[in-house]
Amino acid sequence: MSLNHREIDLVLQGLDLEGAKVEKILQPTYDSIVLHLYKAGKDLDLLVSIAHGACRIHGLSRPSPKPERPLRFQECLKSRIRGANVTRVAQLGDERVVRIDLEVVRVESEAEGATVYKPLGPDAHRELHGSQGPELHRYRLYARLWSGAGNIILAEEGPDGGLTVVDALARRPKRGEVSGEACTLEEDLVADREARRLRAEAEGRQVQAKVFEPRDFPPLEGLADGGSYGQRIEAAYAASGGELSRDSLLEAARERFAKRRRTLEARIAELEAKAEEFRNGERLRELGDILMASQALAPAGRFLDCEDFFRGGRVSVEIDPTRTIVANAQAYYERYRKAGSGLAELEAELGSTRESLAREEAELSRIESIREPLLIARALAKGGTVRTEANKARAYPGLSLERRGWTILVGRSAKENDELLRRHVRGSDLWMHARDYAGSYVFVKAKAGKSFPLEILVDAGNLAIYYSKARANGGGELYYTLVKHLRRAKDGPKGLVLPSQEKNLRIVLDEGLLKELRSLMGDDS
């Protein structure tokens, strides 16, 4: 639940903001900012959030996490109000709109080619008067804490006292909340209030102001008087308030982990069953020999009752009733050959999948130990996966996964396709692409002395069709060749290649297989 106007007043009363200097600006999420303020030897991080269902303003008891990359509104605020002094902070009536007035001296340094910010001293106004050098800039930072229609707007005051929008956290052209528009937020609030009054008079009724009472948030242990009202609000929202609540974020993290665990455990069970069969590979050869010696027998359904001259007694051998006894025997011989050559790869994939499950469990434990909701939100935005140093060193553009000991790469755009071609694949690697449809390049990294298994071709082929326009058809034709047989199209768009010596493969999309592959790649969209 968002703060009401009475609660906002109580928070602002507990904060000594006027005269503070803005030292840093962070934007930890897309719907919040943090102003790092300094006054009289004390630091304060002020959070302003317009998250749906959790619009609020209060101090933070611990440093805010830095974003993975600079966000637009954060960079705008840094370019305008870093180094500014806070001259006034107030809520506009009972409208849940907080106004923060700021003043900053800006000096253009020709030698450094940069803008330098200086704090205002007690004689700043007199020093600036008539000066052609440093300029005093006045800004207003509005925080409209309306759930579902919240916004944070930076406006600059002109020489005539008028306000112009510099930028807004959420750009809303219909409201005029975009760069360069006149900022009339306060006038609009007055006009809306007057319009409501006139409408009520025309309907013969009185405007009934809704009465709000501040909530009684529980006191905090270990703090004098149970902490300030703002500290109690911070703790309450961190525990269970709105979209950025710790409880709801942890629930989302556990649901994501449970989904991935089911996928990984199913794959582990499948691999263990196949590994057990491969470890008993000699028995596959024996069953093939038994079938070859029993060609005169008539099969009864899916099993053929035969004499087991290797181990004594009789044995029921599973067969395909649509095929001949000889063809079934050859299938057992083929499985025997695969068992001999594929056990090492299968056990390697089994070990890798178990490690992935262990990493997922460790990551969930790490997330559950985090107290700060913004840090949990960031972990979920990154996919909630562990990024070890080894993973960082082998990071690829686009999507990637390890499958049965083979590395499959997927470029989802022309830029990613080109980046993979230029820097991450070699001539002996395999390239796949949907025929006659725009789509991703899919690569399979080669392994010394190994040919590409059919199962890996099917996996990569499903991904190539899925990440192409052919997906709507439920399957399609694709072609594949080695990377060394690709030639860049002269004067063609980025990433376009012309293949030679290509081979064809038809793929019918397997939804179960795709779900497993995409989960392993972290693509939950």
Which pLDDT belongs to residue 341? 66
Which pLDDT belongs to residue 244? 54
Which pLDDT belongs to residue 203? 84
Using DSSP's 3-state secondary structure scheme, residue 391 falls into: helix
The residue among 178, 172, 119 whose CA lies nearest residue 146 is: 172
Token look-up 């020709």 returns: 110
Structure tokens at 352: 């890798």
Cα torsion for 313, 316, 317, 318, to the nearest 10°? -170
Which residue pairs, CB below 8 angstroms and at least 24 apart, start in 208-215? 209/94, 212/4, 212/5, 212/6, 212/7, 212/94, 213/6, 214/4, 214/6, 214/7, 214/10, 215/7
Which pLDDT belongs to residue 109? 52
Q: Which residues contact 487 (CB under 8 A, 6 or more apart)?
A: 497, 498, 499, 500
C-alpha distances in Å from residue 494, one per residue of 173, 237, 308: 34, 47, 63
Contact 55, 91 (CB under 8 A): no
Which pLDDT belongs to residue 120? 52
Using DSSP's 3-state secondary structure scheme, residue 84 falls into: coil
Which pLDDT belongs to residue 388? 36
- pLDDT tens string for the chain (525 positions)? 788 999 999 999 989 899 999 999 998 888 889 999 999 889 999 999 998 778 899 988 877 777 767 888 999 999 999 999 999 999 999 999 999 999 998 765 554 455 555 555 545 544 554 444 578 999 999 999 998 889 999 999 998 989 999 999 999 998 899 999 999 999 999 998 888 888 888 888 877 777 788 888 888 887 777 888 888 888 777 765 444 566 777 888 888 888 888 888 988 888 888 888 778 888 889 999 999 999 988 877 899 999 999 999 999 999 998 899 999 999 999 888 877 766 777 777 888 888 888 988 988 888 888 776 766 776 776 554 433 333 333 468 888 888 888 899 999 888 888 889 888 999 999 999 999 888 999 999 998 888 999 999 999 999 999 999 999 899 999 999 999 999 888 777 877 889 999 999 999 999 888 888 887 787 655
Which pLDDT belongs to residue 249? 78
Sign of CA dihedral 223, 228, 234, 240: positive
Which pLDDT belongs to residue 374? 66
Dist CA 279 CA 50 (whole Å): 59
Which residue pairs, CB below 8 angstroms and at least 24 apart, start in 367-371? 367/250, 367/253, 368/250, 368/253, 371/62, 371/238, 371/246
Dist CA 356 CA 340 (whole Å): 26
pTM for the predicted model, two decimal places = 0.51
Dist CA 82 CA 78 (whole Å): 5
Which pLDDT belongs to residue 29? 80
Which pLDDT belongs to residue 386? 36
Report the Cα 230 to chain-centroid distance in Å: 30
Which pLDDT belongs to residue 117? 55
Q: Which domains does the chain have, with CATH numbers?
A: 5-240 (2.30.310.10), 246-363 (1.10.287), 396-521 (no CATH)
Q: What is the pLDDT of residues 146-200, one digit of tens each?
A: 988 899 999 999 989 899 999 999 999 988 999 999 999 999 999 988 888 888 8
For the chain, helix (H) and strand (E) counts, in that order, are: 13, 20
